Structure 1
C-alpha cells in the first residue's frame, strides 16, 4: 500500500478541505494537518495553498497528485497480479510429456479444461523422452512431467492417471485382421519387432513375461529405441509390433491396430512433480488431470479395432 502520508495527501487533494478529508480518513483534523506539513517539510516545497475555506493544490502538488495516482494504480495492479498468482490463476506452467499422451484422452482433455478455467496462465509444452523429462524436472526446468511407467524417482512425487493397454500394430494387409479376435498364440508365425530394454525397462519386462511361451520368428531388424521407429518398420512390412494404444489415434500410413485378447499388459500414465514444489499453478493442473482421469474411462483408449491409415 502507499505510504500513510501520501494517502493523506491524496485525500486532502481530492476533497480540497482538511475537515472533509479528516472525516473520510477517520483521523483528527489537527493531526492530519501536521502530517501534511511534515510531508511538505520533507519534500522541501508546499503542496497546498491554504485558503480561508479549504485548500488548493500548488503546481508541484498537482504534478505529485498525478504521479501518485499512477503509482497507486500500478500498486493495485501488482497486488491483483500477485493474488492471482497465489491462487493459481496467473503465471507460467512448464510441462513436458510423451507426445502420444497428448493425442487423446486424459491429457488433452485436461489441458482444454485447464485453459478454459485459467486463461491467464501461460502453458508451455515440450515433448521429450522419459529420461530427459525426469532430468529437466529434477533440474527445475519444468514444473510437471507426464510419462509412462515411472512410479517413483528421487525427490519427485508420481501420481497415477490411467492404465493404457498395449495393442498389436500390423501392416494393413496382415491376415490377422481377418480373425474375429486375436490371441497371443496367433502371433507365433510372424516376425515381431522388439525394442531396446533401456527405452522402457518395465514394459520390456512385462511383455517378455507375457510372451515367454510363444516361439516367435526371429526378426532380422535390429531393435529400435522408440515406438515411432517400430511403427515405421511395421509400415514397411518388416513385422508386427506391440505398441501403446494411444498410437492408434495417429496411425502411420499402412499400419492397422487391434487388441490382443489375452495380452494383459498396460502402461501406467503418470504425472510427476518435485516434492518441494508448492506452486498453485502446478497443483491446479494436476487437479485438472485427476478430474479428467476420474471420468475418462481407461477402456476408451483407441479408435475402432483394425483401423488403418492409408
Structure 2
C-alpha cells in the first residue's frame, strides 16, 4: 500500500520507518508468495501493475481488518469487552446482589457481559485454579496463594433462635447462653477454615454445641430452628429489616418469624460481637483489568451500603498457619 501510494521505494520506506533495501526485498517476497508481479520498476520510477491495482483494495481491507482485530484484542485485554465470569457466596442477601449488579452495570463498558455464579469459597478457589473464574467474593480465612485481594470487609453475625428460648428475651446474647442447643452451619466443604474458626470461637466463648446440623438455604435453616432445639448464626442483612421490630429498644434490630406453634424465630445480636464474616473480592494475580476493578468496586460498595459491612483492618499482616488454616 505504501509503495503504491508513494510510487517510490525511498519515500515509501521513509513513511514506514525502515530502510529501502529491506522494503524492496519484502515486495519481492510478496510477489513470489502471491504469484503475480505487483510493480514495474525502472531506474526512475515505480509503477503499479494491473494485478497490483486489482489487489490494492483487497490489501486495504485486510489491513483495516487487522487493525480492528488488534483494537478488539486491546479492549478485551483491558476488560472493556468480552465475558467476565464472577461469583458470590450463598450468604449474600438479595439486596446486596441487586445493588452490586446496578453499580457494575453503570460502571462497566457497554460491550462487557457479566456471568454471575453462586459459589462457596472452596469452589471459587477451584474455579480460579482451573481458569474458569475471573473474580469472586470470598470468605476469610482461606488459602489466598496466587490471588490479589480487594479490601477486607467485616459483617457481624447474630444468632437465630426459637422465640421461646430464654436467650430470646435478651437484648444481646452471650454465646455461653446457647449451651444445650444444636448449631446449624453451612457444610464445611464450602469454607473449611471459616467453619473451623466459627466453632473454635464458640468454644472459646463457652458454647460447644451438642451436634452440628448442616444447611444453607434460609428457609431450611429457619425450619430447623423452628422445629428443633437448634440455633444458627446469621448477619443482620440476611433478613428483611421490616419483618420484625426490636422489642428491647436496643436500636440494633431483631426479627420475628411466625410459626405454626406460635413460638417464631428471632434474631439477636451477640454480646461483644465475637463472630463475623470477613469478605474480600479476589482474582488471580496479574489478571486484574478494568472489568475486575469495576466488579471489585461494585461489590465493596454494595456490601457497605446494604449489609453494613465495615473495613476490617488488622494491626499486622494476615497469613495462614499451614497446619490449621486459621488466620494469625
User: The TM-score by the shorter chain falls in which range?
Assistant: 0.5 to 0.7
1:243 counterpart residue number: 234
Counterpart pick for 1:68 among 39, 42, 59 = 59
Alpha carbons of structure 1 residues 232 and 130: separation in structure 2 relative to 1, 3 Å? farther
**Structure 2 length-normalised TM:** 0.62
Q: How does 1:45-124 map to 2 (within 5 A)?
A: 45=36, 58=50, 60-61=51-52, 63-101=54-92, 103-105=94-96, 109-115=99-105, 116-124=107-115
Question: Deviation of residue 163 (structure 1)?
Answer: 0.6
Equivalence for 1:278:
286
Measured after TM superposition, the shift of residue 143 of structure 1 is: 2.3
Alignment pair present for 1:164 and 2:155: yes
How far does the alpha carbon of each residue in 1:71-99 deviate from its partner, in whole angstroms, 9 at most, with x for none?
12211111111222332323332222212
State the shift of 1:148 in Å.
1.8
How many Å separate the matches in 2 of 1:236 and 1:67?
A: 76
Contact residue 150 and residue 296 of structure 2 kept, 8 A: no
Q: Specify whether residues 63 and 113 from structure 1 end up closer, same or farther in structure 2 by C-alpha distance, changes over 3 A only.
A: farther
Cα distance in 1 between the residues matched to 2:221 and 2:145:
31
How far did residue 242 of structure 1 move? 1.9
Q: Which has the higher helix share?
A: 1
Q: How many residues are paired up?
A: 280
Q: CA deviation at 1:164?
A: 0.9
Q: Structure 1, residues 159-215: CA drift from partner, whole Å, max 9, x if none? A: 4431111122246x65889958343379559845433783511122223333439xx
- Determine if the alignment matches structure 1 residue 260 to structure 2 residue 269: yes
Structure 2 residue aligned with 1:195: 185
Deviations 1:251-302 (A, max 9, x none): 998575533251512110123333xx31243x75246525763796479449
Contact 1:9 1:36 in 2 (8 A): no
Q: 2:129 aligns with which of 119, 123, 138?
A: 138
Alpha-carbon RMSD:
4.9
Matching residue within 271, 293, 296 for 2:300: 293
Check conservation: 2:187, 2:216, Cα contact below 8 A. Answer: no
Give 1:121 deviation, angstroms: 2.5
Q: Distance in 2 between matches of 1:256 and 1:285?
A: 39
CA distance in 1, matches of 2:16, 2:179: 91
1:5-50 Cα shifts (integer Å, max 9, x gaps): xx225536xxxx779x9699599xx99x979985895444455799
What is the distance in 2 between the residues matched to 1:76 and 1:102? Answer: 44
Shift of 1:114: 3.4
Q: State the match for 2:192 in structure 1.
A: none
- Alignment partners' CA distance in 2, 1:9 and 1:236: 85
Q: Which sections of structure 1, spanning at least 5 residues, go unmatched? A: 1-6, 303-310
- The answer on whether the counterparts of 1:167 and 1:242 sit within 8 Å (CA) in structure 2 is yes
Shift of 1:134: 1.8
* Alpha-carbon distance change, 240 to 261 in structure 1, aligned in 2, over 3 angstroms: closer
1:8 to 2, 5, 8: 2
SS in 1 for 2:152: strand
Please report the TM-score for the alignment, with normalisation by the length of structure 1.
0.65
Contact 2:237 2:308 in 1 (8 A): yes
Gaps of 5+ in 2: 190-194, 244-255, 259-263, 310-328
